[in-house]
Amino acid sequence: MKAGRLVGRPAFGEGAGQARWSATSAASLREWLIADDSLRGRVRLVAGAPGEGALGSGMDALAVALGNGGAFTVFATVAVTWLKRRSGRMAVKIVRADGSVVEISSDLVRPQTAQELRETAERLARELGAAQEGTESA
């Protein structure tokens, strides 16, 4: 089972800065993820390295170990729902085990209907599952 990283970042453009990815955001998403029994024990907070010349830690990330299709679906559903409920503009970048990146933003999910949210979560789960299958066969 390979772990991917989930990294949030503030979105750019009008209204950017209203929501910032921080230790608080990472902890909040972690709490949402581990509230589901199938993800409990698979999520850990990882402190990022500070940028050159910066004090303190860098951007926090979550490491999430997903080993099967069901976990991908649960993860994607929770991540999309959490992002929809965030205030301000935010994007979440998912760095898959193979190094490729998938990004979803609050601008995308906030105006979506319940059906569109389900479709977004299903598409995200398929993308994450496809990357996992590619790394296991390599």
pLDDT tens readout for residues 39-88: 888 888 777 666 676 666 555 678 888 776 688 889 889 989 998 888 77
Place of tokens 């409920």: 85
Q: Which residue has the higher pLDDT, 8 or 42?
A: 42
Tokens of 106: 């609050």
| Count of helix runs (H) and strand runs (E) in the chain | 4, 5
DSSP 48: P
The end-to-end CA distance of the chain, in Å, is 13
**Strands of 3-10's sheet, edge to edge?**
43-46, 61-65, 3-10, 90-95, 101-105
Q: Does 59 or 38 have the greater pLDDT score?
A: 38
- Among 96, 91, 101, residue whose Cα is nearest residue 65: 96
User: What is the CA angle 67-33-114, rounded to 5?
Assistant: 100
Residue that has been written with the tokens 């199938």 in this structure: 38
- Where helices occur in the chain by DSSP H, the ranges are 23-34, 69-85, 106-109, 114-137
Mean per-residue pLDDT, 97-112: 84
pLDDT band at 114 (very low <50, low <70, confident <90, very high): very high
Which residue do the tokens 């790394």 mark? 135
Task: Provide the pLDDT for residue 91.
Answer: 78
| Per-residue confidence (pLDDT) for residue 105, from 0 to 100 | 85
Q: Which pLDDT value is given to residue 118?
A: 94
Q: Inform me whether the pLDDT recorded for 115 exceeds 70.
A: yes
